[in-house]
Amino acid sequence: MKNYFFLLLILLLTSCKSKIIETTSPDYYFTFGNIDFIPSTKWTKVDNNIATFSLGFVKGDCCGSVPNPEVMKSKIIGDTIFYTSGKNYIVDCERRFGTCGANPKFVINIKKYPNYQKLKWKLVNEREFYNLR
């Protein structure tokens, strides 16, 4: 009986999957920024290693129409930053009530990308993102 219980426990633990948020790179990633309503679409140097770029404040309903920096993905190819919107739409959600906002910030390692101020931005969907080489 103990063997069956042990076998069942192993099967249960191996079949359960945890939600892993895919990070794009340790050298660049998206994070939550401060909620300021001043449009700051320029690079800000935080220290000798890090610079940030605010994509601006985005306002919308709370059913997934605002970007979530935890699920935004990015790739730097050549001189272009390709990024996804990071929107998770919720189907069974009442859109008439409430508003939400987000200020996604892009963080980049200056030492790895010294020409960070000359990078161009391009928004792509998920399918295009995974087909990038």
> What's the average pLDDT block by block, 10 residues per block, for the chain (133 residues)?
65 51 69 70 85 85 84 91 85 78 89 92 88 81
Give the number of other Cβ atoms within 10 Å of residue 67's Cβ. 21
Residue-level pLDDT at 114? 92
Residue-level pLDDT at 62? 81
pTM of the model: 0.72
3 state SS of 120: strand
Residue-level pLDDT at 20? 41
Exposed e or buried b per residue across 97-121, where buried means at least 16 C-beta atoms within 10 angstroms of its C-beta? eeeeebbbbbbbbbeebeebeebee
